[in-house]
């Protein structure tokens, strides 16, 4: 992709995304996740905390867009690769947890996927 197209895409993203949005930059995204953890998860029992954290991460559909824009801003496509990898793995963990019904502990599912 040439620089002219890249600059145009970055400009469009900046115009259509509020600078305070959690998807504007990686720093905003990490800050938002820390805030969510402090508000909703910090004081939960371990199993419920893992389940809640996976549910919060499952709603990060725009994570891929953040990966795209960071890749363009930094001319480093590892950001996009990491965003896609994370998004797909969260979806697989979520689906496995749903498919396993209630006879398996969600921590076992999470541990199994973390080994990969």
pLDDT tens sequence across 46-63: 888 888 887 777 666 677
pTM: 0.64
Which residue has 């990686």 as its token pair? 26
Domain count for the chain, please give it: 1
Give pLDDT tens digits for 61-114: 677 888 888 988 998 888 888 888 887 887 777 676 555 555 555 555 554 545
Residue 22, class by beta-carbon neighbours within 10 Å (0-12 exposed, 13-18 middle, 19+ buried)?
buried
13 contacts: CB under 8 Å, gap ≥ 6: 65, 69, 72
When pLDDT is cut at 50, 70 and 90, the band that residue 18 belongs to is confident
So what's the pLDDT on residue 3?
86
So what's the pLDDT on residue 115?
45
- Structural domain including 99 reads 3-15+22-115
CA–CA gap between residue 20 and residue 5 (Å, rounded): 25
pLDDT value at 116 more than 50: no
């Amino acid at each position: 992709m040439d620089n002219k197209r890249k600059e145009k895409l970055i400009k469009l993203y900046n115009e259509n995304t509020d600078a305070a949005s959690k998807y504007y930059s990686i720093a905003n995204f990490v800050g938002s996740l820390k805030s969510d953890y402090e508000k909703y998860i910090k004081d939960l029992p371990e199993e419920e905390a893992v389940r809640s954290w996976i549910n919060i991460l499952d709603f990060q559909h725009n994570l891929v867009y953040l990966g795209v824009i960071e890749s363009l801003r930094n001319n480093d496509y590892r950001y996009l690769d990491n965003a896609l990898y994370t998004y797909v793995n969260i979806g697989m963990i979520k689906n496995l947890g749903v498919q396993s019904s209630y006879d398996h502990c969600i921590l076992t599912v999470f541990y199994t996927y973390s080994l990969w």
